[in-house]
Amino acid sequence: MVRMVGGKPRPFGDDKPKKGRVALLTAAIVGAAAAGGTAISAGGSTASVGSGGGSSLKARGSSKESARKGRHEEAMTRLGLKKIKKLAKRELKCAPYAFGQVQDFLVRHPCKALTRMLLAVGDEGGNTVVVTIAWVRMPKTAEARDLRKLTDRDGTGNIYALPDALLERSGIRFTGDHYASRLDGALLVIAEATGGNGHPDPVVLQNAADVAVEFPAP
């Protein structure tokens, strides 16, 4: 689901300091290389994975089915993407890991649990997609619904991406252009995708967010 403002797609999170998000994201990406995965950088191949069966409606539909079953690698493979690295961590509080109005909301309405995941995937052409996912469990469905309304609005803040402390280098940003959210009772799921190495097609980035938001909480 793309964030819409005034009937037009709008970037998510332009209100936040770019520097902070860059550091969080890049740490995870560079950590993939340090752990023996495919290196990810701001440059590299210009090949696109936006055409072909990987981004077709049929592929996206089957990918979502795999995602709902918790088959992360299979879901991304159906989009033509291969896992490079996956990190996940659970927290008992949400407010310390949020910013903006979203943080203010979570201070007033504490969550029950927060799980965050960073997933880096790549295609055969050397392009990389990095996805951040947050599962926010609230005490009540109404609170989760109100939180979703807030996060879906431009300029209100969000949950920070999960950092990888292996290395911290700048160069890649979550711009909020490829965003999705899902409500399941008192559970709010938020996903956002961005490009790493190369130039992934915007359709692929949005498909990755749309599929990742279907993942059940780890």
The model's pLDDT over 2-50, given as tens digits with 9 standing for 90+, comes to 444 334 344 444 433 332 333 334 333 433 333 333 332 233 333 333 4
Ranges of each domain in the chain: 4-212
What is the radius of gyration, based on Cα positions, of the chain?
Answer: 16
pTM of the model: 0.74
d(CA 183, CA 189): 6
- Average the pLDDT over 192-210 and give the result: 91
What is the reported pLDDT for 32? 37
Q: Is residue 84 predicted with pLDDT exceeding 50?
A: yes
88 against 29, higher pLDDT: 88
Q: Is residue 55 predicted with pLDDT exceeding 90?
A: no
